[in-house]
Structure 1
Amino acid sequence: MRSVLAATVVLVQLGVVYAQCPGSVTASVCGLSKASYPDWMGRLPNDRLISDLSIPATHDSLAIVGGSLTQCQENYGQSADTLTAQLKAGIRGFDIRLRIAEGNKFTIHHGPTYQNANFDDVLTKLRSFLEANPTETVLIRAKRECRNEFLSCNDAPGDFESIFRSYVSAYPTVFWAPAVNGRADIPRLGDVRGKAVLMVLHGNSGGPYGAFGLHHFAGWTDGSTTYVQDDYNVANTGAIATKRDKVRRFLDVTSAGDKSKIYVNFGSGSSILAHPFTIANGAAPSTTGVNPFLLGYMREGPEVHAPVVRTGVMMLDFPGADLITQIINTNQV
């Protein structure tokens, strides 16, 4: 607690007020507002496949309230204001969790906890950002969150797929049409500037809805697949090292892998004994978290290991400014 208070005092003295973060701001954890990359994709060529990009992304992108077991991101405001903050910082991949609410609408949840935002908020914020920054694209993983069971949320009556289609119709300029009108091939950046690309629309058991997303992710179920590392069960703080190693190994695979395939690497994890911030930040006195480990690994030179030349979509909890910068700078012009 003393370290958190001390950090807060220093930040106030510097005239910088960071949003709610459950721990100290470091180069790799929290302090997202120190990064400012609203149009970084503008320097990349149109003919580059989006699979060939290094994309900073957030896991459970709007999980900002509900306590330490539920919160995965800094809280920069309700009604998807947090999404806007992430976009301005350079985040281009998002993990959006949807609950069917009354009136055939979607609200944003993490498990049973409503995250003070609705899908209309998300799409409105995306539309505003992409209209103001037409060189950019964003990648979306959307998921039906509620399992209608204990420790989850409950959907109101309604057909999930039909409701999703109604949002696509209501916001016709937001989505790249081929990925919401049937499964699509992986596009080039020039084809999707100013649009949101739906990578996959997941059901509440992990399987994707077949009429949406990219062909490439048709086999993306719950957890890890060939092109996805999402081993999210980190049983305790002692298992953080194992999670770090999974992230690192998959990063090596991505960096050396087929540039026509999108790799998605989740740095996130959680359990009753290891909460998201602890996994991202580390546990005192000697357990390094995923985020600082990842930043250090990416900064190491060829005398240590093969340089990281592509990260794919890095889904992170509480990403810090230097880590975002490092991922963006991995893109080769």
Structure 2
Amino acid sequence: MKRALAVLIAAFVLFLPGAAFAADSSYRTLSAANHPDWLANVPDNKSLAALSIPGTHETMSIFGGSLTQTQEDFGASGGTLARQLTAGIRMIDIRARVNSGNTFTIHHGATYQNANFSDVLGTLSAFLSAHPTETVIMRLKQECTGELGSCTDVSGQKSFQDIFDSYASSLFWAPSVTRGAAAPTPTLGAVRGKVVLAVMHGAFGSPIEHYGLAQFATWTDGSSTYIQDNYSVSNIGAIATKRDQVRRFLDTTNAGDPTKLYVNFGSGSSLFAQPQQVAGGALGVQGVDPFLLIYLNEGHGLTRTGAIMMDFPGSGLIEKIISYN
């Protein structure tokens, strides 16, 4: 009886429309942020590793319902990405499915996000042409595993890396998209107006052929030396544990190797803790986004945040991360 009641309560919470807290400066107010040229004020000789970078997890995920959506919807194709870039987002998380014609389409699990990789590149190109002082760091992942709840790549196509090579162009910082190059972490001056590929992940999380930055050679599924990505949040009560993981990694970043870029995922989910609930809070439990804004406002001796990958970030949180630069 108790187990049945628990399942019933969990199901009720899962589909409760008002489960996440209301929008505020930390959460679901990205439209109020306007920082299209914030890197213009950062010296050329500063390493990307020294920057504090607002980023988004599952950057393009706006379709599929509450279990799948991770970002505010500003339009399909490149619309949502374009608004994030204008807001000040400078690290993005792109998930691609191998489709017919040796192309990439954008997915979150089984859900097509009404966008293609060509939309991503077109949006990035237009933004960086208009704002040449900026750079955007990209994590690219082969999304489809063929498992339940995931997608399946179209058969008979080229390998993921071969298809990517057909897309790679002068838009990218060349050392980061040269197969096997394992590029050093660059200075900002070397990559203004360019996209930097941080890592390319295969379907089960292993890096592919040393694309991207050498420091991320051991970035596999979940957390690693320079990454905090404990993405499994089993229930709403476990949001507190996720908040603590984010806080501890901020401290790790601040005390860590100054020549390395640290990436801290504030995102998390499970069947009983939706992305919006983890980000914004639910049932009296504080979400990661409001916690982050409070913690960063308090200071705690932090001098850099690294890249913080967020779901549903608010304007105040984006601005606060930028202010650390």
1:249 is displaced (CA, Å) by 0.2
- Asked if the contact 1:227/1:264 (under 8 Å) is kept, the reply is yes
Q: Write the mapping of 1:207-222 to structure 2, written as runs, cut at 5 A.
A: 207-222=206-221
CA distance in 1, matches of 2:318, 2:216: 25
1:255 is displaced (CA, Å) by 1.5
Asked if 1:253 corresponds to 2:247, the answer is: no
Give the alignment partner of residue 93 of structure 1, picking from 75, 91, 104. Answer: 91
**Over the residues paired in the alignment, what is the CA RMSD in angstroms?**
1.2
Aligned residue number for residue 78 of structure 1? 76
Asked if 1:24 corresponds to 2:18, the answer is: no
SS in 2 for 1:122: helix
Aligned residue number for residue 280 of structure 1? 279
Q: Write the mapping of 1:45-124 to structure 2, written as runs, cut at 5 A.
A: 45-124=43-122
1:79 is displaced (CA, Å) by 0.5
Q: How many residues align?
A: 303
1:309 is displaced (CA, Å) by 1.3
Identify which range, 51-60 or 147-156, moves more after superposition: 147-156
Give the alignment partner of residue 180 of structure 1, picking from 154, 177, 187. Answer: 177
SS in 1 for 2:120: helix
Gapped regions of structure 2 (runs ≥ 5): 1-17
Identify which range, 149-158 or 89-98, moves more after superposition: 149-158
SS in 2 for 1:45: coil
Deviations 1:205-253 (A, max 9, x none): 1000024101000000000001100000000000000000000000011
Asked if 1:317 corresponds to 2:311, the answer is: yes
SS in 2 for 1:134: coil
CA distance in 1, matches of 2:291, 2:210: 38
CA distance in 2, matches of 1:85, 1:180: 25
Aligned residue number for residue 301 of structure 2? 307
CA distance in 1, matches of 2:305, 2:78: 26
Gapped regions of structure 1 (runs ≥ 5): 1-6, 8-21
Aligned residue number for residue 160 of structure 1? 160
SS in 1 for 2:83: helix
SS in 1 for 2:72: coil
Q: Give the TM-score of the pair, scaled to structure 1.
A: 0.89
Aligned residue number for residue 263 of structure 1? 262
Give the alignment partner of residue 149 of structure 2, picking from 151, 166, 189. Answer: 151
1:23 is displaced (CA, Å) by 6.3
1:68 is displaced (CA, Å) by 0.4
1:279 is displaced (CA, Å) by 0.2
In the alignment, residue 248 of structure 2 is paired with which amino acid?
A: R
Give identity over the alignment, percent.
55
- Asked if the contact 1:241/1:288 (under 8 Å) is kept, the reply is yes
Aligned residue number for residue 129 of structure 1? 127
Aligned residue number for residue 294 of structure 1? 292
In the alignment, residue 96 of structure 2 is paired with which amino acid?
A: L
CA distance in 1, matches of 2:211, 2:221: 17
